């Protein structure tokens, strides 16, 4: 994890392949996102196209902090990012995560009120999450996502 004065970065090297195991990173990513949100910071989750890897990580987090199943959580993401479309392998991993999340990953918290979606360019093969304390406001469904305009490539 790289750090700037008020920014923290987590980069997960993962391919956009149905065979890629993203589940192994859900706990790490959830903890990172959760910590930023507890600090009332912004969180940006992104990948090359913003369609599959970053969406899968985001859906897993939403599932962890709400009672939504993976399809409902994906609808929340699609409300802010219409092109959200995890590949079939990632969809299967989200289904499996749904079956096990209550035992291993469920996080109970009160989320700060602010959200938006922001796509940024990135190199292929990377899924990154960044957080910051800068705030912007926009509400998508009942889940709140934050927006940051600064991205660091890894």
Q: Is 47 a catalytic residue?
A: yes
Residue 8's pLDDT is 85
Q: Exactly one of 47, 59, 84, 141 is catalytic; which is it?
A: 47
Residue 6's pLDDT is 79
For residue 121, tell me if it sits in a domain.
yes
Closest CA relative to residue 118, chosen from 35, 45, 38: 45
Residue 124's pLDDT is 46
Rounded Cα–Cα distance for residues 71 and 40 (Å): 27
CB 46 within 8 A of CB 128: yes
3-class DSSP assignment, residue 152: coil
Overall domain count for the chain: 1
For residue 7, tell me if it sits in a domain.
yes
Residue 114's pLDDT is 43
Rounded Cα–Cα distance for residues 55 and 34 (Å): 16
Q: What is the CATH number of the domain that holds 126?
A: 3.90.190.10
Indicate the pTM of the whole model.
0.67
Residue 96's pLDDT is 94
Which residues of the chain register pLDDT less than 50? 107-124, 132-154
Domain that holds residue 76: 3-132
Token look-up 């938006």 returns: 116
Residue 109's pLDDT is 46
């Amino acid at each position: 994890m790289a750090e700037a004065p008020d920014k923290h970065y987590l980069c997960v090297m993962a391919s956009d392949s149905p065979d890629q195991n993203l589940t192994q990173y859900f706990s790490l990513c959830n903890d990172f996102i959760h910590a930023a949100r507890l600090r009332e910071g912004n969180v940006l989750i992104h990948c090359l196209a913003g369609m599959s890897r970053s969406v899968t990580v985001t859906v897993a987090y939403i599932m962890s902090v709400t009672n939504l199943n993976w399809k409902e959580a994906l609808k929340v993401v699609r409300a802010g990012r219409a092109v959200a479309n995890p590949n079939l392998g990632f969809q299967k991993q989200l289904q499996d995560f749904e079956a096990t999340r209550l035992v291993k990953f469920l996080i109970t918290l009160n989320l700060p009120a602010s959200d938006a979606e922001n796509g940024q360019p990135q190199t292929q093969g990377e899924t990154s999450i960044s957080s910051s304390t800068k705030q912007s406001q926009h509400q998508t469904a009942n889940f709140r996502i934050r927006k940051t305009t600064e991205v660091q490539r890894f």
